[in-house]
Amino acid sequence: MAGRRWAGGCAALAVLLAAWSLPRGGSAGRLFLNEWAAEIPAGPDAARAIADELDYDLVGQIGSLKNHYLFRHKSHPRRSRRSAIHITKRLSDDERVSWAEQQYEKKRIKRASVKDSAESLFNDPMWNQQWYLQDTRITPSLPKLDLHVIPVWQKGFTGKGVVITVLDDGLEWNHTDIYANYDPKASYDFNDNDHDPFPRYDPTNENKHGTRCAGEIAMQANNRKCGVGVAYNSRVGGIRMLDGIVTDAIEASSIGFNPEHVDIYSASWGPNDDGKTVEGPGRLAQKAFEYGINQGRNGKGSIFVWASGNGGRQGDNCDCDGYTDSIYTISISSASQQGLSPWYAEKCSSTLATAYSSGDYTDQRITSVDLHNECTETHTGTSASAPLAAGIFALALEANPGLTWRDMQHLVVWTSEYDPLAGNPGWKKNGAGLMVNSRFGFGLLNANALVDLADPKRWKRVPEKRECIVKDKNFEPRLLRANEEVIIEIPTKACEGQENSIASLEHVQLEATIEYSRRGDLHVTLVSPSG
């Protein structure tokens, strides 16, 4: 894979900012819960003993994370604005505990609510409105553009045998355009701790988000209902985790749910897109990502697809979001039916590619299922782009089940299209000769090109990943002053002459600790040795 170009906003800094731990004084405004997560290497017997000795109830193991357990204290209130440092310390000081942390409520924002001859293939009534799959846009002056999915279907790839789960606010699995493709083994409710991810109904249909995202992926074909999913023969599940208190433990359990069964995880949420927030996965969620890419899909690695964010109007930068910015996720941005960057889209160096979604208020939007067995043609935001990408990746996995999580990233880079989005500013050629843009990544997804290149007869699995860690032991803290530039040079020979020497660059992570008054006033750029 060609190296990503890093520029703008929080840029490379946000790739890995102090492991996304709480900043100093970061407890202000948080609600702490009567839940403690702890790593206990000796296993479940030791966890039970600790619970008995320290007056806890042992809730159980956290997701797929071995030796990580969730506890509730028997005499602590359910919620508190102050952290119980004394309880955490007593747990941490136990020699059987290698790490412990009190769980706190996290604010997670759904990235959907943006206010504001193929025609005879299927009998689904809204098929002809799915302009992004077959170009049926009604404005004659628009260029001919779509995601090139129909040629893949004509090759016989429809997502069969691939399992996708949507991490969100629930899934109306009995919807008549979803039910035949519903997979209960890919589903769970972490808000109510049961196996039914059915969404909670309310007068405003607040919890429609996950159902809409799942519909884009797996709506049935030729059943005279709604539209057609990108991978309409795939199996789809739902993880209900956003309709309630979100903690690090809940995120880890969701991200790491049944990784031997689930192939692709689609997420269209993250920290607040307000242009002020710098946040990412906690310790547990980070471990769940790592477990997924190492152990998921029988060692080939789980595929994590993430919406890049809707904070464009607020000047937000998706590099300040440690989920979409993670090297383990495929970050997907949006383009409108005009082939332009929508007003809500964010810029960042970690965006890998783009899929279609809504644009201006007069533009057509995305078709899907809706709550109460209804249909919609008004799904919007980067929330709508990520599931389209997840569906395309399902087509590729059907064509080549042996693809690893890194193979998928390489395929996205080499097959995404620059030309349909070339009229937008910001395109630059990287060291591998590929065009890249901080708004669109490497371009618009091309399902046909991606599946063709993924063919096992053509695609050679990428070699084992090497990691070269460079530590600047002589670094002296530098003072940041207004309107001044601070340049820090980090000498490296890319581990030349060692077993882990780097010949081509795939991912870059920068660990840095920065104290500054306002995120939006700070601009960080990582420049490669080649300039």
Concerning whether 209 is annotated as a catalytic residue, the answer is yes
Concerning whether 334 is annotated as a catalytic residue, the answer is no
Cβ atoms 283, 101 nearer than 8 A? yes
DSSP sequence for 384-438? HHHHHHHHHHHHHHHH-TT--HHHHHHHHHHH-BSGGGTTSS--EE-TTS-EEBT
By three-state DSSP, how is residue 284 classified?
A: helix
**Set 168, 169, 321, 407: catalytic member:** 168
| Backbone torsion region of residue 381, taken as left when φ is above 0, otherwise alpha when ψ lies between -120 and 50, otherwise beta | left
Beta bridge partners of 379: 366
Beta-carbon count within 10 A of 120 CB: 8
**Set 68, 148, 209, 379: catalytic member:** 209
Can you point out the beta strands (E) in 40-125? 56-61, 68-73, 79-80, 99-104, 109-110
Residues 6+ apart with CB under 8 A from 78: 33, 34
**Set 64, 336, 383, 416: catalytic member:** 383
Beta bridge partners of 189: 194, 240
Beta-carbon count within 10 A of 8 CB: 18
Distance CA 476, CA 489 (A): 12
Concerning whether 168 is annotated as a catalytic residue, the answer is yes
Question: β-strand 163-168 against 235-240: which pairing, if any?
Answer: parallel
Residues 6+ apart with CB under 8 A from 221: 122, 124, 158, 228, 229, 232, 233
Active site residues: 168, 209, 383
